[in-house]
Structures are given as C-alpha cells and as structure tokens.
A = this chain, B = another copy of it.
Amino acid sequence: MAKKIYVGVDLGGTNVCAGLVDSEGTILARDERPTLARVSAEAPLNQICDTISQAVLNGGMTMADISGIGIGSPGPLDAKRGLIMRAGNLPHWYNFPLVAKVKERLGPYTCVQNDATVSAFGEWWMGAGKGLSDFFVLTLGTGIGGGAVSQGKLLTGFNDNACEFGHTSIDMNGVQCWCGQRGCIESYASANGIVRMANEALTNEHIESSLAEFRTKPDELSSKMIFDAAMAGDKFAEDMFRQAGYYLGCALVNALNILNFEVCAIGGKMARAGDLIFEPARKALYERGFQSYVNQVKIVPAEIPDDAAILGAARLVIEQGEAS
C-alpha cells in the first residue's frame, strides 16, 4: 500500500506556504506565494488553493493522491465549524468559511487550527518535542504565541483559544493590556514589549546607553536596535533582554505549574538573542518552579521554526481522520 500523503498549509498575513507531507513527517515538496491578504476575501483563498495545487504538482502527484489538507491560520477561529472569525492580517475575512471553501475547490478532507497551535504540534512531531508526552512551545515575535501538547494530544481548549501564553500575567497590577488583563508577559518579553520597557526606562531614568538618543524619539526605537546594541556590549540594552528573559521565566513557571510540560521550546525573532534571553528565563524557572522536579524541565530553542506550521497542520489532518 502506498504511503498516505497530506498537505500542510502555513497561512500568514504576508505569505502562504504549502507542503506535501508523508505520514512519517517528511516534507516531499512545497510551494510559497504572497497571501494578497488585503486585496479581497477571494484573493487569499485563491492563493491558498493555488499554492496547494502547485505543491502537489511539485511532488509529482495529483489532488486524488492527497488524504487531507490541514491549515494553520491566524485567528480567532472556530475549528469545529472551519470558520475564520476574524484575523488581524486578513482584513476581508469575517466568519469566513475557509474549510468549506478549500474543500469545495480542491476535494480532499480539510481542517483548520490556530497557527501558533499547529506550529507547536509540528515542533512536537518532528522538532524539539519529538517523543515527549507533554511539551510547550512559545513564539516570541511582535507578540507572543503559544501552543501545547499534553499526553500526546494537541491542547486546543473548548473554543480554540488555548495557550494564549502572551496574555498570562506576571503582575495583576502591571501594564494594562488591550486584552483586558494587566501585566501580560507580552508587554515585557515580546519584541514590542522590550521596546516598551526600554522606552519607559529611557524616559524615567538617566541612562547611559547608545540608545539614549531615542529618549526624544521613542517611536523610532525597535527591538532590532536594542538587540544590536546588546550585541555591541551596551549594558542597558543587555539589561533589557535580561529583564525580558527573567519575566518570561516567571510567566513560564505559571504555565509549568498548570501544564506540567517536560520541555518548553522557544522560537521567534526575540529567541535569536539566544543566551541573552534564555539564561535569565532559565534562572527564573529554576528559582521559582517546584524544587521537587523543576530540574527535570528544560527550556530549549525551537528546532524547526520554518517547517513547524506545515508539519503540524499535516499532523492535524492525520489525527482528525482522513475523510478523503
């Protein structure tokens, strides 16, 4: 019997990428193209269907060979009904029936789940989480996304809003977040968060730093500039990363004490700071976690950030059964 083949789709606001994946997690072929998110509601749908078709073609197959299509999409979404409720980066989609549309056009069984959630699933399947029962993934980007696998199953929650780790709080009286909560870790350890912290410090204190000039132009400061300054040995910039990392570790203790994961993998552009952010995060985790077992828990870099969403979306189809 031939191996079953699936398509995993990584849908972003800028690009959409499809991969042909076999049941062992090998990506056999792929295609990528711009999402055209701002053109119309139909344009990104066309791009999704075209990139899937092209990936299938690139793999030397036809749509009849495909056992199912999984899509990782920005949300909030309703996975059970296959709807994208609203997605910041896809402004023409409102309660958009993505699953029904893709299935209607292409044929195979189709399903959808949050992008951060499927990325965690992929990282668990073929990356840093391989073989673990309980695994947690963070993406430190402009915001902070998260996903978890618990006892080998993807954690989705009752309406697909699980693992909004960026909106767990380290301080109930902290910075007000748009989400309703105060002191969300996203306000400290994301790219936007570190810029916010640096601007706040530059405004309130006399600081010697190559970044001091931004005191008068806070809107021009970026996380990349703080990173570059830290790499060049700027103490203030280094401190900002250390602080972000320590706060991140504190937030991770809360997640650990709820999920009891064995490994947390961290990806995203902020993770590129490496030890500058990983070491203080580990310090907080090991200081503050249950001493009876926290030494068994690891924080590691994500291993397959570029493929995780495609693989996780494909794995989602495998788990949900193939109605092809």
What 0/1 pattern do residues 186 to 212 of A give for CB contact below 8 A with B? 000000000000000000000000000
Report A161 CB to chain B, min CB distance, Å: 4
Please name all residues of chain B whose beta carbon is closer than 8 Å to the beta carbon of A291 when the two chains form the complex. 179-180
CB distance from A177 to the nearest CB of B (A): 9
- CA–CA, A146 and B259, complex, Å: 11
Query: Looking at the complex, which one of B85, B132, B150, B179 makes contact with A290 (CB distance below 8 Å)?
Result: B179
- Report the minimal beta-carbon distance from A312 to chain B, rounded to whole angstroms: 16
Asked whether, in the complex, the Cβ of A180 is within 8 Å of the Cβ of B288, the reply is: yes
**Segment among A100-108, A163-171, A215-223 that sits at the interface with chain B:** A163-171
Contact check, B168 vs A170: say whether CB atoms are below 8 A apart. no
B258 touches A172 (CB 8 A): no
Instruction: Decide yes or no whether A40 CB sits under 8 A from chain B.
Output: no
Query: Which residues on the B side are within 8 Å of A167 (C-beta)?
Result: 257, 290
Q: Are A289 and B258 in contact (CB under 8 A)?
A: no
Q: A42 contacts the other chain (Cβ, under 8 Å)?
A: no
- Contact present for B158 and A257 (CB under 8 Å): no
Q: Are A159 and B253 in contact (CB under 8 A)?
A: no
Point out the residues of chain B lying under 8 angstroms from A262, CB to CB.
158-159
Contact indicator B134/A168 (Cβ below 8 Å): no
Q: Does A250 count as interface, using CB distance less than 8 angstroms?
A: yes
- Does A155 sit at the interface, judged by CB under 8 A? yes
- A156 contacts partner chain B, Cβ-Cβ < 8 Å: yes
Interface size bracket, A side: 35 or more
Contact partner, A261, options B158, B165, B173, B182, Cβ 8 Å: B158
Which A residues, 255 to 308, have Cβ-Cβ distances below 8 Å to chain B?
A: 255, 257-262, 287-294, 296
Is the beta-carbon distance between A168 and B254 smaller than 8 angstroms? yes
Identical copies in the complex: 2
Interface SS, A side = loop
Digit string of A6-23 for contact with B (CB within 8 Å is 1, else 0)?
000000000000000000
Could you say which residues of chain B place their CB within 8 Å of the CB of A287? 180
**Interfacial chain B residues near A50, Cβ < 8 Å:** none
Asked if A157 and B134 sit within 8 Å, CB to CB, the answer is: yes
Beyond A132-B158, A261-B157, whether A172 also contacts B247 by CB under 8 A is yes
Is the CB of A181 closer than 8 A to any CB of chain B?
A: yes
Of the candidates B76, B172, B260, which one forms a contact with A250 in the assembled complex, judged by CB atoms under 8 Å apart? B172
Query: Would you list the 8 A-B pairs with minimal beta carbon distance, nearest first?
Result: A157-B260, A134-B158, A162-B260, A158-B262, A164-B257, A161-B260, A168-B254, A172-B250
Interface residues of A (CB under 8 A from B): 76, 85, 132-134, 146, 148, 150-151, 153, 155-165, 167-173, 179-182, 247, 250, 253-255, 257-262, 287-294, 296
Complex A-B: 23 CB contacts under 8 Å: A132-B158, A134-B162, A148-B258, A150-B153, A150-B155, A151-B153, A151-B155, A153-B153, A158-B262, A160-B260, A161-B290, A161-B293, A162-B258, A162-B259, A162-B260, A165-B257, A168-B254, A169-B253, A170-B171, A170-B172, A171-B171, A181-B288, A255-B258
